[in-house]
Structure 1
């Protein structure tokens, strides 16, 4: 019941500016911890071993903090509030919907500016379909990373579990990229993030398919998911693409280099726009609703 309450609180309130403009968001604090370890440890020799140490310290710290908060005799209030803060359904929907609004109000230039807030690829030369596709892909991936995976680990391990997941996910987003500086030091963060997302990514895909009453689509999801460069991100994309009837992934540019990734659901519509983003947002809420209903159903039964 705590998880269901946290999901509802997150969906209603999201990340209120009046609060996080005054105090650092937990994700910001996690980012500062990762940056501090990166500065102190990512030097000299044995950088992979030092990266392992950094991840171990982050996990121990998250576990300790979560355990202390869970120990406080407050009938679970702090755990519920902590989980609500660390879930990101409302925030995700807000950022994705902003891309559709920007496309409608200012065409590709404003759309590029909005989508640059949520993707890591080059956006300077994107046209409208590319902007929309990037927004929808971000919606699919972040439904898993920002909603289903945190909820899953809270359900399994309580507040320590969701804190561990979030700090590892934050570390992966900061040091997990295979840049020259982080190729060795970020190895452990990237691999552990893959492990922690393995079940949630596949669960997210299943929930998307279930929410849209299209079980036959599941037969296509594994094959399309394997086309993705990520072992996990391809699963929610491979489920959302046929649900929306669109093609995702495909060629895109990183750091000025065009990369020819295969299409997911290649026969889907490629002429995407703001309306397709709106449909993706509705799919996010629909999947969220089915997830909440399942959690409540399990709670009632057991």
Structure 2
């Protein structure tokens, strides 16, 4: 079971700056591949077809690369190392915790810290808005950056992990409803939705169960309020177990958006203490998944 050492290695070391300040991170290389494909093929009259073929090509290439690496001498070792690199548990906790630490210094420090992990406007955020943004990012990225890649590595080995990561990278870069990418990025967005369907719901279960919450009704109720078919599940679970109201109004590119509240019954005057609790929830959920992996090994 190669997932166990990969998770432990990622949890212990994260992403050492001494290495990635000198070498390009695999995720960066994936981003370059997607960027090249966007420039090369996002043109012409049938951009949706081009996007479908591009996403298929990226996925097939990622699968083939995973198979080649798995068959190399010391293949299991390479698979563990690459999986550990592409999991993001420790780095996620560090980035979210940095927001709490900065917010304790000043509101402006908190705004600058949260701007590194979210895409919304941060310049006019108050302290609760900074905290909400950090906690939402923690929940969504636990699913996208930890549980989903671990799930696909467990199911389909390194090829499955690489297919997931290239798809998730493509979705983050071109899966947007903009004039340039609405058609070309359609396949990337839909394939990412498909690959995240089970992991997002599994993440919600891990968050809830690891905190002793066994009532799925409020999580199911609020998960559907999210604009994403998947991200609402871990976000709703995090809101419930921390008893904080998440989502709600925010601004993107100067435009105010009135999103509905997730767990509106929860507290709204929140700050660094609640971010600390979200970081603890990340580790508890990670540990719960680790226990599942151990049980699968025992079976």
- Whether the TM-score (by the shorter chain) exceeds 0.5 is yes
Q: The residue matched to 1:220 in structure 2 has which SS?
A: helix
Is the Cα–Cα contact under 8 Å of residues 103 and 127 in structure 2 kept in the other structure? Answer: yes
Gaps of 5+ in 1: none
- Verify: 1:246 aligned to 2:247, yes or no: no
The equivalent of 2:168 in structure 1 is 169
3-state SS, counterpart of residue 136 of structure 2: helix
Question: How far apart are residue 278 of structure 1 and its match?
Answer: 0.2
Q: Does 1:292 align with 2:290?
A: yes
CA distance in 2, matches of 1:44, 1:126: 41
C-alpha distance after superposition, 1:100-148 (max 9, x if no partner):
011011x221111111111111111111100000000000000000000
**When the two structures are superposed, what TM-score results if normalisation uses the length of structure 2?**
0.99
Q: State how 1:59-98 maps to structure 2 within 5 Å.
A: 59-74=59-74, 76-98=76-98
Aligned-CA RMSD value: 0.8
**Deviation digits for residues 146-173 of structure 1, max 9, x if unmatched?**
0000000001100000000000000000
Separation of aligned partners in 2, 1:214 and 1:184: 41
Q: Give unpaired runs (5+ residues) of structure 2.
A: none
The CA deviation string for residues 228-284 of structure 1, in whole angstroms up to 9 with x for no partner, is 111000000110101001000111111111111100000100111000000000000
1:14 corresponding residue in structure 2:
14
- Give, in angstroms, the shift of residue 294 of structure 1: 1.2
Correspondences of 1:29-178 after superposition (within 5 Å):
29-74=29-74, 76-105=76-105, 107-178=106-177
For 1:182 and 1:108, locate their aligned partners in 2 and report how far apart those are by CA, in whole Å. 35
Distance 1:151 1:261 in 2: 30
- Whether the aligned pair in 1 keeps the contact of 2:69 and 2:75 (CA below 8 Å) is no
Q: Distance in 2 between matches of 1:190 and 1:182?
A: 10
SS of the residue 1:215 aligns to? coil
Give the 5 Å matches for 1:210-249.
210-216=209-215, 218-249=216-247
Deviation at 1:82, TM superposition (A): 0.9
Mapping for residues 189-228 of structure 1, pairs under 5 Å: 189-216=188-215, 218-228=216-226
Q: Which residue of 2 aligns with 1:271?
A: 269
Of residues 231-240 and 37-46 in structure 1, the stretch that sits farther from structure 2 once superposed is 37-46
Say which SS state the counterpart of residue 268 (structure 2) adopts. Answer: coil
Task: Using the TM superposition, give the Cα deviation of residue 54 of structure 1 relative to its aligned residue in structure 2, in angstroms.
Answer: 1.2
- Pick closer, same or farther for the CA change 1:180–1:75 going to 2, 3 Å: closer
Determine the C-alpha separation between the residues in 2 that align with 1:296 and 1:169: 27
DSSP-derived class of the 1:76 partner: helix
Aligned-partner Cα distance in 2 for 1:137–1:122: 15
Corresponding residue SS for 1:253: strand
- Displacement of 1:60 in angstroms is 1.0
Q: Displacement, 1:219?
A: 2.2
